Structure 1
């Protein structure tokens, strides 16, 4: 497997590529103004700066969520770092964001798989930072059972955590999000369109298929207020959640299905979240963007 790469380097390269240049060839400075009456004929400088924005990232004490939180903080956002059990890991993410000297951060213990936990996260964001601009619904579970082993409890846990909780958190957040300019970003999986799926992925992929449809419909619903709703669908990413229950040879076989012959890393996913959260992505709405290195094409 390839060595881990610097999150800062990846993010900087990505945003340098998409940020417009000045006539002198230098990168244009961040512009945090948002045109409420934007049209194709309006003078408008697209920007990826998140200075002054407030973001909640569920399940952000480790793995993809932690990389996303750091990415948003690097570009100026104030981030609510959510955790359930690992306070130390969450505090490390908070300190990493604060040390960049751009965005602020707080750690909030809450179970985002419950209605109460979701509401508490929203309340803490408003109490601490005064408003909300970005909601990243990253938290989820990934159980593996074929049909013969699926019981009601297993089914309910997946749909409660992966579908019900993010849907109702989005509902509760909608009135709080800045309008226009609010962002809701769901997470699905590239496996929803892959032919190389295993029988034990039944419940997990069913929930991700539901999320993709929820995202499409909410984009139509909330788009009238200038709030975009998109889904990011990573391929296999090297996280503890992905590795759980998989023998080494299975993980190696999955990695070899990618032309780069490796698994994705959390830092491969975070820059796209940062872009979708920004003003530059205001015309991207209702989309499902697969980030998998050509694992699925």
Structure 2
């Protein structure tokens, strides 16, 4: 019996968590890989686990001790899903001696996460705290893993990234045109809720004529999408993307508290800035004391978290 023909990518997208689009086939395939990558990273705590394992492989109890806010019984299934995704490797060294570490694919993802962290650090709102010396409210640093997860939370919903890509490709557009591009199998009215979402999230703005266009924050997602696309296809991050251009020559980490604890406490005295292009050190990952529970983030301008 002859084997069935491979499924059309657009058909697969219509049954996937990501919407089908009216974009070109090459862009559609690229978008599909990026959105699938975002879905893989989107579950809460996935990034925290990956960053915890970035310096070196760890035993289960060692990972758990570094992620104390993760409820009992949640770490094991999250590690299992990351193993299934090919990002984490589980190694048995002997009786009751198992370690978890990043695979080659997981290691290659770390520079991409660094680009996402940079966008979140620049564009997302930050918690405010009153300066004891001046009495002024000042933005406080946010954990790098939280910046990454909050960035992914903005661009991973079903139609958010397809809308941003469509606006990047065509420029300002009407709701009708966007519906034809991003949701060709839906009624026109279905495009408005996801449009309102990307507007509320600060990625899209409304022009005086009533059309929609990318905001500054939306346009500056270019390095993030370029890096995600390059990683998803196994290309170098320095290779230019046909839609989003070129990312950083060498993915950089930003000066700041590179930690994987969900801290909202005031930062310790500033340390010398890290050399651009260098990865965070193991000692930087947990440079803050962990609060008893996550603290709320008050609005301080910029796209919401």
Assess same fold via TM > 0.5.
no
* Larger RCO, structures 1/2 (Cα 8 Å, 6+ apart): 2
TM-score (norm 2): 0.25
TM-score (norm 1): 0.25
